[in-house]
Chain A
Amino acid sequence: MKELVEYIAQSLVDHPDQVRVTEEISDDQIKFRLSVAPEDLGKVIGVGGQVIHSIRNVVQAGGLKENKRVQIEAVKGGSDLVSN
């Protein structure tokens, strides 16, 4: 599923080479940390978070198969947390 988050993000941004995804798996949830180039952050979050919510919703389909909740955080390349 990490590849899926990566693929979706890369399809949306101007700098696909700077997309990095890490995952943290626990019993009932998977937390993805999606890092993109600073100027691409808006592209993966979207107006009112519409894009990041949509990514989460789509990826959740994979999570449901494993009975896990999916969380995605978008962050600026190598820096702080920005959105959920």
Chain B
Amino acid sequence: MNKVVVQAKTVELAVASALEQLNTTRDKVQIRVLEQPKKGFFGLFGVREARVEVERMMDPVEEAVAFVQNVTRMLGFQVSIHIKERGSRKKPVVLELVGEDLGLLIGKKGSRIAALQFLAEIVANRQIPKLRDKRRLILDADGYRERRKEALVALAHRVAERVIQTQKEVSLDPMPAMDRKIIHQTLQKMKQITTHSVGKEPFRYVVVGYKSIQSLRGE
């Protein structure tokens, strides 16, 4: 039971009774007053009780963990989920999946873990109405993100070198947003290199371009 509607003499009493029914505390629920109480005429006519709706607020981290746990179990993976970062408005929640043979779950270039991450983020934020309160979510599997980051930084440098030598732009393979960001960040300080992304998700890819010294002087 996650939502109750309770009637009582005052709003306070109604809320208290609802909290008791939900077996929870005030900071973990959302309260909507459906009807304010009315005392009526000498307490005789038109007396109306207060009505409130009290809904349990799910913790986004717990929601995400439960979702990822259930999905991976149903897919036949034995995975334990570690909460590495509970997140805040500014910091993403980070969950790490630990288990064996997670390659299939990560998918080509991390596309499957990115898809699962995308879905888990929606599920985690379902009950959060305000955009600014929504949490970002990062799913990692067996240190994949760190390994991937190293590979991407190396790739970025290699491609940048080639672009400078040939003075021709190079398009990379499609990759998830987080991966593209690493490429952009790695190359942003290089004066002769430009980067931008092209195409529609999930086929969006980075183009590494060349900016000649002359054009730099001309600016």
Contacts and interface: CB of A to CB of B under 8 A. Distances in A.
Interface of A: 1, 3-4, 7-8, 11-12, 48, 50-51, 53-55, 57-58, 60-62, 64-65
B76 A65 contact: yes
A61 B201 contact: no
Q: Is the interface of A mostly helix, strand, loop or mixed?
A: helix
A61 B113 CA distance: 10
A60 B122 contact: no
Q: Is the interface of B mostly helix, strand, loop or mixed?
A: helix
16 contacts: A3-B74, A7-B70, A8-B119, A11-B119, A11-B126, A50-B118, A50-B202, A51-B118, A51-B119, A55-B115, A55-B119, A57-B111, A58-B119, A61-B112, A62-B76, A64-B104
Contacts of A55: 115, 119
B172 interface: no
Contacts, number: 56
Contact of A8 (B71, B76, B111, B200): B71
Interface of B: 67, 70-71, 74-76, 104-105, 107, 111-112, 115-116, 118-119, 122-123, 126, 200-202
Given A61-B107, A61-B112, A51 B74 contact: no
A48 B62 CA distance: 28
A65 B72 CA distance: 13
A7 B74 contact: yes
Contacts of B115: 53-55, 57-58
A12 B104 contact: no
